[in-house]
Structure 1
Amino acid sequence: MHKNSKMSGMRFLLVTVLNALITVVELFGGVLSGSLALLSDAFHNLGDSASVVLAYVASRIGLKNSNMSKTFGYRRAEIISAFVNSVFLIVVSFFLIIESVRRILNPEPVNGGIMLIVAIVGTLANFISALLLSSGAKGSLNIKATYLHILSDALSSFGIVIGAIIIQVWHIDIVDPIVTILVSVYIMWETWPVLKEAINILMQGAPNLDFEAMKHDMLQEPGVVNVHHIHAWQIDENRIMFSAHINLNDQLLSDVEPVYRHLENLLQKKYHVDHVTLQAEVFRGKSNELFTRDRHDI
Structure 2
Amino acid sequence: MERSNVSKQRFLIVTLLNVLITVVEIIGGLVSGSLALLSDAFHNLGDSISIVLGYFAQVISGRPENRRRTYGYRRAEILSAMANSIFLIVVSIALIVEAIKRFSHPEHINGRIMLIVAIIGLIANLVSAQLLHSGSHDSLNVKATYLHVLSDALSSIAVIFGGVILMFFNITWLDPTLTILVALYIAKEALPIIKQTLSILMQSSPDLDYEAIKHDLMQVPGVVGVHHVHAWTIDEHRIVFSAHLNCHDMMLSEVEKIYLQVEKILNDKYDIKHVTLQAECQRGRDEELFNPPIDHDKLC
Aligned-pair CA distance for 1:150: 4.0
Contact 1:233-1:242 within 8 A present in 2 as well = yes
1:163-211 Cα shifts (integer Å, max 9, x gaps):
1222221110210111001110111111111111111111111122222
Tell me how far apart the structure 2 counterparts of residues 211 and 176 of structure 1 sit (CA, whole Å): 52
Aligned-pair CA distance for 1:89: 1.0
The aligned counterpart of 2:71 is 72
Instruction: Work out which of the residue numbers 134, 137, 140 in structure 2 matches 1:137.
Output: 134
Contact 2:243-2:278 within 8 A present in 1 as well = yes
Q: Determine helix, strand or coil for the equivalent of 1:169.
A: coil
1:104-163 Cα shifts (integer Å, max 9, x gaps):
2332332323222211111122233345x38x8399856995667645532331121001
Aligned-pair CA distance for 1:239: 1.1
- Does the C-alpha gap of structure 1 residues 85 and 129 become closer, same or farther in structure 2, counting only changes over 3 Å? closer
1:55-66 to structure 2, matched below 5 A, reads 55-66=54-65
1:105-254 to structure 2, matched below 5 A, reads 105-130=104-129, 133=131, 137=134, 145=143, 150-151=149-150, 153-254=152-253
Aligned-pair CA distance for 1:43: 3.6
Whether 1:19 aligns to 2:18 is yes
Tell me how far apart the structure 2 counterparts of residues 35 and 286 of structure 1 sit (CA, whole Å): 70
Tell me how far apart the structure 1 counterparts of residues 136 and 28 of structure 2 sit (CA, whole Å): 36
The aligned counterpart of 2:44 is 45
The amino acid that maps onto 1:269 is D
Aligned-pair CA distance for 1:79: 0.9
Q: Which moved more, 1:29-38 or 1:226-235?
A: 29-38
Q: Which moved more, 1:105-114 or 1:269-278?
A: 105-114
Q: Determine helix, strand or coil for the equivalent of 2:66.
A: coil
Aligned-pair CA distance for 1:262: 0.7
Whether 1:91 aligns to 2:108 is no
Q: Which moved more, 1:263-272 or 1:44-53?
A: 44-53
The aligned counterpart of 2:287 is 288
The amino acid that maps onto 2:174 is V
The aligned counterpart of 2:278 is 279
Could you list the runs of 5+ residues in structure 2 that have no partner in the other structure? 296-300
The amino acid that maps onto 2:134 is A
- Does the C-alpha gap of structure 1 residues 69 and 40 become closer, same or farther in structure 2, counting only changes over 3 Å? same
Contact 1:228-1:245 within 8 A present in 2 as well = yes
Aligned-pair CA distance for 1:281: 1.4
Tell me how far apart the structure 1 counterparts of residues 118 and 136 of structure 2 sit (CA, whole Å): 31
- Does the C-alpha gap of structure 1 residues 139 and 29 become closer, same or farther in structure 2, counting only changes over 3 Å? closer
Contact 2:154-2:182 within 8 A present in 1 as well = no
Contact 1:30-1:39 within 8 A present in 2 as well = yes
- Does the C-alpha gap of structure 1 residues 9 and 70 become closer, same or farther in structure 2, counting only changes over 3 Å? closer
Contact 2:220-2:258 within 8 A present in 1 as well = yes
Q: TM-score, normalised by structure 1?
A: 0.87
- Does the C-alpha gap of structure 1 residues 152 and 96 become closer, same or farther in structure 2, counting only changes over 3 Å? closer
Tell me how far apart the structure 2 counterparts of residues 64 and 75 of structure 1 sit (CA, whole Å): 8
**Coordinate RMSD, CA, aligned:** 2.7
